[in-house]
Structure 1
C-alpha cells in the first residue's frame, strides 16, 4: 500500500505556539473518542514568535467551536476588546482614520449602505460616517458590551498570544493530544512516493504518522526543509521584511482598538492588554538598520519596557503549495502577511477549518489537496491586496522608503478593485471574504479614494426619505452607544 493510499489515523503536529496548539485543540475536539492519535512535537528550548496580540472577529467562531467561555478566555489571556484599528498618518501626515468591525449603516433595497452615503455626501452632507457605525463611536468613547437591545457589538480581541497557546495546550491535552518534548533532527521520507513517514528527534526517537501538520514557523521544517515546496514572494509590493517587538508597562490606556502609526521605514503597532501594552515596529531592513529600529521603538514606547526586544525577519508571501503530499503547513510555515490588519491568527484558524473539512479518512486524494491549495492561496491573495492597499494609497513621499513604496505599484487585482470603486462606488468582493464592503469602504475612503458615482438604486429614495432614514439610523446607533458601559468596567465585570 503506497503512502498516499494508506488510511489517515496518526496525525503529527510539529511545533507549538499559537498555530500548533490551535491545531491540536481543534483536532482534539473534532476527533475525540475516535481511533485517531494526535501527537504534537515541540521543544521548550525553541522559542515561538508569539508577538501577535490582535485578532479579527472570526476568532469567536473558533473559540465557540471549542466551547470556550469568553470570560474565561479573557481572564486566561489578559485580553481586552478590539473594535477596529486606528490608522495614524496613512492618508498623509497628520491624517487619521478608523477601520471598524461591524457594518456601516444597513442595506436598503438590496444594495450596500455606502451607495446612499455617497449620494448624501455629493449633495453636501456631512462626510463623517462614524454616526452610522456603532463600533467606531464605541471606540472613540472607549465603551463596550457584547450586546445591545438592537443587536451585537461586533468585536475581536487583543490578547497575550503565549498565554492563549498555554491555555489551548491544557485544552488539547484534556482531549487526548499527546505532547512530545524534543527537537526535530531529521524528517524521514517514504522512498516510494516521497511522503513523510516519520520525524526523527535528536535523542533518537521516531514519531511515525500518516498526516503531518507543519507548525514550525518561518523555518518550515517539513514543508520546505524536507519537501522543498518553494515559496512565492511578495516583497516587491510589501517591502517590510523585519520587525522588532517590545512590551511595556500599561499606563492606563485600555483603548478597545489597535493603533497603527506610519513611521519612516514602515509602521508601528500599539496594542493595550490588561497587564501590558504590546508595541512593535514593522520595517524594511533596506531602509533602516535593526539597531536603529529598536532604538526608535524604545524612544516611542508609552511606558517603561518590560522585556528585551524580540527581533524578527520574514518575507511576505506563501508556500507554493500549503498542502504538499501528506504535509499541511499552518501558520508561519505556510506563509506570512505582516500584521497590519491582524490576520495572522485568522489565517491559522481558516487553515485548520479547511483541513478539518477535507480531512482524509482512507486516502489522501490529489483532487482534495488541489482544492485545499486553491482556496488557501486565493485567501492569501485577497488579504494581500487589502494590506497592499494601505501602502499603495498612503500618498507619502517624505522618506526613501515611502518613495520606493509609491514607485512599486500594485497587483492588477487590487488596481481593478480600486478603479471600480473610484468610478462606480462598487466594492468587488466574494461572499466569504474576510473583508467586505464596510472594511474596503473604510480603508479606501480613509486613504483618499473618492468615488465619482454610486449605484442607481440609491437614487430611488426621495431626498426627504433618505434624510429621514439617515436620521433614524443615527438615532438608533446613538441609543445603542448610550447602553454601553466603559470598556474598563466591562473588563472588571468579568474579573479579568
Structure 2
C-alpha cells in the first residue's frame, strides 16, 4: 500500500541553511513527509560561516554523525574560544573562551571573588582560571573530563561548503529530493496569501504545503512575496560590507578563532586542516572597498588562494521569521556579524524551535504558534545583538573615526541595563534562555575594560585566606591538567587519522 503524504515541505535554496533543515526534517519528520529542496548551481552561497560554538554538537549528535568522519569530510579543526585582538586598544588581546572561569564558592559565582581579589590586588588575569584559555594560548587540545567538572567544551572550524555537501548526502540518502533550478515567481493563494507553489525559470511548478526560505539576503519568499518587513539595526552595528578570502595554511595552527580590530571594522582568522579562512568586516562610511582589500591582503598568514569575495549586508532581522506557511532560516531571516560565530547556531536554533511545533497534516499552524516562534526568535536575536554591540561600544581606540563613533553611539535599552548592573556590583543576569551565559559576558566585560565599581558584599564574609586559596588552587589544578596536553595539530591528526604528525605523510 502506498504511504500517504502528510505534508509537502519545499525548501527554497541550499547552502548550509537549506541542507541543515533538509537533514533535520529527513531525520525527524514523521513517515509520509515529502521534502524537496530547490537549488541552483548558478547561484553562489555566502558561506563565510566557518566557525561555530559548542551547541553544534547537539545538532550533529541528533543526526547521528560520527565526529571523526565529520572532521575528515569538512576539513575541520577544533575551537576552544575566540581571541579579540585590539578591540579595547592596540596591542592588547583577550579571549572569550568556552567553559567555566574558576569555581563557585558558597552562594556566589567565581566572578564575585575575583572582583574582590582584584580590588585587593591579588587576582591574576582571567585566563589563569580558564581551562580552555590556558590550552588555547599554548596551542593545545584535549577532549574529556576537566578538573572544573564536566567535559571540556569545544566547537569547530570547518569548511561551510563541505558541511553543506555532507548534510546533502545525509538528506538525500533519506529521501530528500533536490531540484536543480532558479526560482522565477512565487505563487500565492489569492485569499489567504499562503504560498502554493514556486515556479522555476526553466518552467516546472513546484507545489507544496509549507515553504522554507533559505534564499539568503534576497529573502525571495518571506520578504519578496510575504513582505514580512525588516528591523534595521545598522544604528547599533554600522558595518555593512565584508570581504572573504582563503589563504594557504601558515603560522600557528590555533585551536581558536581570531577577531582582529582594524581601522574601520575587524578581521577574522579561522584555521582549517588545509587552509585559513580570512575576512574583513567593515563600515563603508569609514573605509573604501579598495582600502579594505589592501588591508585584508596585507594581513594574511599565507598566499591567498582566491580573489577577495565582496559581501554587502544590512545588520538586522525580519520582523516575522514565520509568516503564513513560510519559515525563513539563515540569511533570509536576517544577518549579524560573525564575530561571536553565531551564524550557524542561529540556523540550528531556528530548526530546533520549528521542530518543537512542527505543523500537522497539510503544514497548517495556528497563529498563536507562529506568534510564539517569532517572539522567541526576536528575543534571541536582540540579546545576541546586545552582546555584539558590547564589543564595539567598550573600546578605547580614541582618534579613529569609526571606533569613536561606535564608542559614543546610543545603546539598546537592554544592553544599558546590563551594563548598569555590572558596573554597580559585578552582577550579571542571564535572562531566560539567552545564548550567552554569565561567564561569556564576564569575559568580554573584563576584556573590554568595563570596570565593576563594586561586588556582592557576601564575598567579604569569606576570609581572605580562603579566597586566596580558591584562586591559587584553581590555577594550579588547571595548569597541571593543561601542561601534558598534546598540541592541537597532533591531537587532531591522531584523532582523525589515528596517526601522530610524524606518522602522517607530508
TM-score by length of 2: 0.94
Pick which of 11-20 and 202-211 moved more.
Answer: 202-211
Pick which of 107-116 and 304-313 moved more.
Answer: 107-116
Tell me the residue number matched to 2:15. 17
Pick which of 331-340 and 150-159 moved more.
Answer: 150-159
Runs of 4+ that moved beyond 6 A? none
Please report how far the alpha carbon of residue 200 of structure 1 lies from its aligned counterpart in structure 2 after TM superposition. Answer: 0.5
Which digits, 9 at most, give the CA deviation of each residue in 1:51-70, with x for residues without a partner? 11111110111101111111
Q: Distance in 2 between matches of 1:283 and 1:129?
A: 29
Q: Establish whether residue 446 from structure 1 lines up as the match of residue 444 from structure 2.
A: no
Please report how far the alpha carbon of residue 360 of structure 1 lies from its aligned counterpart in structure 2 after TM superposition. Answer: 1.2
Tell me the residue number matched to 1:182. 181
Question: Is the Cα–Cα contact under 8 Å of residues 148 and 480 in structure 1 kept in the other structure?
Answer: no
**Gaps (5+ residues) in structure 1?**
1-6
Q: Secondary structure at the match of 1:51?
A: coil
Tell me the residue number matched to 1:383. 384
Question: Is the Cα–Cα contact under 8 Å of residues 232 and 320 in structure 1 kept in the other structure?
Answer: yes
Tell me the residue number matched to 2:265. 266
Which digits, 9 at most, give the CA deviation of each residue in 1:241-265, with x for residues without a partner? 0000100000142100011111111
Question: Is the Cα–Cα contact under 8 Å of residues 123 and 471 in structure 2 kept in the other structure?
Answer: no
Tell me the residue number matched to 1:53. 50
Please report how far the alpha carbon of residue 471 of structure 1 lies from its aligned counterpart in structure 2 after TM superposition. Answer: 2.5
Tell me the residue number matched to 2:397. 396
Q: Distance in 1 between matches of 2:170 and 2:108?
A: 43
Tell me the residue number matched to 2:131. 134
Which digits, 9 at most, give the CA deviation of each residue in 1:275-306, with x for residues without a partner? 00111010011111212211221111111000
Tell me the residue number matched to 1:192. 191
Q: Distance in 1 between matches of 2:22 and 2:299?
A: 38
Q: Distance in 2 between matches of 1:8 and 1:433?
A: 34
Q: Distance in 2 between matches of 1:467 and 1:386?
A: 31
2:79 to 69, 72, 82: 82
Q: Distance in 2 between matches of 1:442 and 1:460?
A: 25
Question: Is the Cα–Cα contact under 8 Å of residues 251 and 301 in structure 2 kept in the other structure?
Answer: no
Question: Is the Cα–Cα contact under 8 Å of residues 148 and 484 in structure 1 kept in the other structure?
Answer: no
Question: Is the Cα–Cα contact under 8 Å of residues 104 and 133 in structure 1 kept in the other structure?
Answer: yes
Tell me the residue number matched to 2:494. 493
Q: Distance in 2 between matches of 1:63 and 1:445?
A: 33
Distance 1:407 1:449, change over 3 A: closer
Q: Distance in 2 between matches of 1:486 and 1:337?
A: 33
Please report how far the alpha carbon of residue 110 of structure 1 lies from its aligned counterpart in structure 2 after TM superposition. Answer: 3.3
Question: Is the Cα–Cα contact under 8 Å of residues 212 and 329 in structure 2 kept in the other structure?
Answer: yes
Please report how far the alpha carbon of residue 431 of structure 1 lies from its aligned counterpart in structure 2 after TM superposition. Answer: 4.2
Which digits, 9 at most, give the CA deviation of each residue in 1:321-370, with x for residues without a partner? 01011111000000110111110001000000000111111431000000
Aligned pair count? 489
Tell me the residue number matched to 1:144. 141
Distance 1:145 1:127, change over 3 A: closer
Q: Establish whether residue 317 from structure 1 lines up as the match of residue 316 from structure 2.
A: yes
Q: Secondary structure at the match of 2:246?
A: coil
Q: Distance in 1 between matches of 2:155 and 2:345?
A: 11
1:121 to 118, 121, 126: 118
Distance 1:345 1:204, change over 3 A: same
Please report how far the alpha carbon of residue 433 of structure 1 lies from its aligned counterpart in structure 2 after TM superposition. Answer: 2.0
Please report how far the alpha carbon of residue 483 of structure 1 lies from its aligned counterpart in structure 2 after TM superposition. Answer: 4.1
User: Where do residues 343-422 of structure 1 align in structure 2 (5 Å cutoff)?
Assistant: 343-362=342-361, 363-422=364-423
Please report how far the alpha carbon of residue 149 of structure 1 lies from its aligned counterpart in structure 2 after TM superposition. Answer: 5.6
TM-score by length of 1: 0.96
Q: Establish whether residue 277 from structure 1 lines up as the match of residue 264 from structure 2.
A: no
**Gaps (5+ residues) in structure 2?**
498-506
Q: Distance in 2 between matches of 1:26 and 1:374?
A: 22
Q: Distance in 1 between matches of 2:449 and 2:6?
A: 51
Cα RMSD over matched residues?
1.4
Q: Secondary structure at the match of 2:496?
A: coil
Q: Secondary structure at the match of 2:27?
A: helix
Please report how far the alpha carbon of residue 429 of structure 1 lies from its aligned counterpart in structure 2 after TM superposition. Answer: 1.3
